[in-house]
Amino acid sequence: MRGIADLFPLSALAEFVWVDLTHFLIVMKVHELKEKLTHKEDVLLLDVREHDEYEASADKIEGAQNVPMGEVFTEAAKGNLPKDKKIITVCKSGGRCEIVARELKAKGYDIEYLEGGMEEWKKDAK
Protein backbone atom coordinates (compact mmCIF):
# COMPACT_ATOMS: atom_id res chain seq x y z
CA MET A 1 0.00 0.00 0.00
CA ARG A 2 1.36 3.40 -0.99
CA GLY A 3 1.18 6.45 1.23
CA ILE A 4 0.86 10.10 0.35
CA ALA A 5 4.65 10.47 0.52
CA ASP A 6 4.93 8.01 -2.36
CA LEU A 7 2.45 9.98 -4.47
CA PHE A 8 3.77 13.42 -3.56
CA PRO A 9 7.44 13.64 -2.57
CA LEU A 10 7.93 15.89 0.45
CA SER A 11 9.99 18.38 -1.55
CA ALA A 12 7.09 18.85 -3.99
CA LEU A 13 4.65 19.36 -1.12
CA ALA A 14 6.96 21.88 0.51
CA GLU A 15 7.05 23.94 -2.68
CA PHE A 16 3.28 23.70 -3.02
CA VAL A 17 2.47 24.94 0.48
CA TRP A 18 5.32 27.43 0.92
CA VAL A 19 4.13 30.84 2.04
CA ASP A 20 6.23 33.97 2.36
CA LEU A 21 5.08 35.17 5.78
CA THR A 22 6.70 38.58 5.35
CA HIS A 23 3.94 39.38 2.88
CA PHE A 24 1.13 37.85 4.90
CA LEU A 25 -1.51 40.48 5.49
CA ILE A 26 -4.29 40.59 7.94
CA VAL A 27 -7.41 41.90 6.30
CA MET A 28 -9.55 44.04 8.54
CA LYS A 29 -13.31 43.84 8.17
CA VAL A 30 -15.47 46.94 8.59
CA HIS A 31 -17.00 45.71 11.85
CA GLU A 32 -13.52 45.07 13.28
CA LEU A 33 -12.39 48.61 12.45
CA LYS A 34 -15.55 50.08 13.92
CA GLU A 35 -14.94 48.12 17.11
CA LYS A 36 -11.36 49.42 17.34
CA LEU A 37 -12.53 52.99 16.81
CA THR A 38 -15.38 52.62 19.31
CA HIS A 39 -12.92 51.36 21.93
CA LYS A 40 -10.53 54.20 21.02
CA GLU A 41 -7.67 51.80 20.28
CA ASP A 42 -4.44 53.57 19.43
CA VAL A 43 -4.20 53.07 15.67
CA LEU A 44 -3.04 55.23 12.78
CA LEU A 45 -5.73 55.30 10.12
CA LEU A 46 -4.28 56.22 6.71
CA ASP A 47 -6.62 57.06 3.84
CA VAL A 48 -4.43 56.58 0.77
CA ARG A 49 -6.79 58.15 -1.78
CA GLU A 50 -5.46 61.09 -3.79
CA HIS A 51 -6.00 64.48 -2.11
CA ASP A 52 -8.60 65.67 -4.63
CA GLU A 53 -10.44 62.34 -4.51
CA TYR A 54 -10.46 62.45 -0.71
CA GLU A 55 -11.66 66.07 -0.55
CA ALA A 56 -14.42 65.49 -3.13
CA SER A 57 -15.77 62.47 -1.28
CA ALA A 58 -18.45 62.70 1.39
CA ASP A 59 -17.18 59.37 2.69
CA LYS A 60 -14.46 59.78 5.28
CA ILE A 61 -13.63 58.00 8.50
CA GLU A 62 -13.25 60.36 11.43
CA GLY A 63 -9.65 60.60 12.54
CA ALA A 64 -8.16 59.30 9.29
CA GLN A 65 -5.14 61.07 7.85
CA ASN A 66 -5.11 61.53 4.10
CA VAL A 67 -1.71 60.51 2.75
CA PRO A 68 -1.95 59.51 -0.93
CA MET A 69 -0.50 56.17 -1.92
CA GLY A 70 2.51 57.70 -3.68
CA GLU A 71 3.37 59.82 -0.66
CA VAL A 72 3.07 56.99 1.87
CA PHE A 73 6.27 55.34 0.66
CA THR A 74 8.16 58.65 0.81
CA GLU A 75 6.92 59.26 4.35
CA ALA A 76 7.92 55.74 5.35
CA ALA A 77 11.40 56.20 3.85
CA LYS A 78 11.78 59.43 5.84
CA GLY A 79 10.83 57.57 9.03
CA ASN A 80 7.60 59.52 9.45
CA LEU A 81 5.38 56.45 9.93
CA PRO A 82 5.42 54.64 13.27
CA LYS A 83 6.60 51.04 13.45
CA ASP A 84 5.40 50.74 17.05
CA LYS A 85 1.76 51.48 16.31
CA LYS A 86 -0.89 49.59 14.33
CA ILE A 87 -1.54 51.21 10.94
CA ILE A 88 -4.77 50.60 9.06
CA THR A 89 -4.96 51.67 5.43
CA VAL A 90 -8.14 52.67 3.62
CA CYS A 91 -8.95 53.67 0.04
CA LYS A 92 -12.02 53.74 -2.19
CA SER A 93 -12.42 50.02 -2.90
CA GLY A 94 -9.54 48.20 -1.21
CA GLY A 95 -6.98 47.86 -3.99
CA ARG A 96 -4.60 50.70 -3.21
CA CYS A 97 -4.77 50.22 0.53
CA GLU A 98 -3.89 46.55 0.08
CA ILE A 99 -0.82 47.43 -2.02
CA VAL A 100 0.35 49.96 0.56
CA ALA A 101 -0.21 47.47 3.39
CA ARG A 102 1.65 44.70 1.55
CA GLU A 103 4.67 46.91 0.86
CA LEU A 104 4.86 48.35 4.36
CA LYS A 105 4.34 44.93 5.96
CA ALA A 106 7.43 43.74 4.07
CA LYS A 107 9.33 46.66 5.64
CA GLY A 108 8.35 45.64 9.17
CA TYR A 109 5.27 47.76 9.84
CA ASP A 110 2.36 46.48 11.94
CA ILE A 111 -0.31 47.09 9.32
CA GLU A 112 -3.70 45.93 8.10
CA TYR A 113 -5.96 47.14 5.32
CA LEU A 114 -9.70 47.66 5.26
CA GLU A 115 -11.23 45.03 3.03
CA GLY A 116 -13.39 46.69 0.37
CA GLY A 117 -12.30 50.17 1.43
CA MET A 118 -14.81 52.97 1.75
CA GLU A 119 -17.31 51.14 -0.46
CA GLU A 120 -17.67 48.48 2.24
CA TRP A 121 -17.64 51.12 4.96
CA LYS A 122 -20.65 52.82 3.29
CA LYS A 123 -22.54 49.53 2.88
CA ASP A 124 -22.14 48.80 6.58
CA ALA A 125 -23.53 52.22 7.47
CA LYS A 126 -26.86 51.43 5.82
Greater confidence, 90 or 22? Answer: 90
Is the whole model's pTM more than 0.75, yes or no? yes
Q: Are 27 and 112 in contact (CB under 8 A)?
A: yes
Does the pLDDT value for residue 70 go beyond 90?
A: yes
Per the prediction, the chain carries an average pLDDT of 86
d(CA 104, CA 118): 20
- pLDDT tens, 20-67? 554 456 899 999 999 999 999 999 999 999 999 999 999 999 999 999
Does the pLDDT value for residue 117 go beyond 50?
A: yes
Question: Is 15 buried (19+), middle (13-18) or exposed (0-12) by CB count in 10 A?
Answer: exposed
**What domains does the chain contain, in order, with CATH numbers?**
19-125 (3.40.250.10)
Strands 43-47 and 86-90: parallel
